[in-house]
Amino acid sequence: MNEKKPIYSSNLAIRNAVVDDVDTLRDVFRRASLTIEGDRDLITIHPE
């Protein structure tokens, strides 16, 4: 597999996700989903 290097711009680093990122990514997805008014009730009832 071809290993890609992170891209750096200021304080931002873009890289592939790793297993240790799963909880953080789930949290970001959940919070982003709560910004969609039509999805709030469903996400609140079924956060998984």
pLDDT in tens, the chain (48 residues): 567 777 766 777 788 999 999 999 988 988 888 888 887 888 788 877
What are the distances in angstroms from CA 1 to CA 27, 35, 42?
29, 37, 39
pLDDT score of 24: 94
pLDDT score of 8: 65
pLDDT score of 14: 82
DSSP state of 2: -
Decide if 14 contacts 7 (C-beta within 8 A).
yes
Amino acid at 15: R
Cα three-residue angle 21-46-19, rounded to 5 degrees: 15
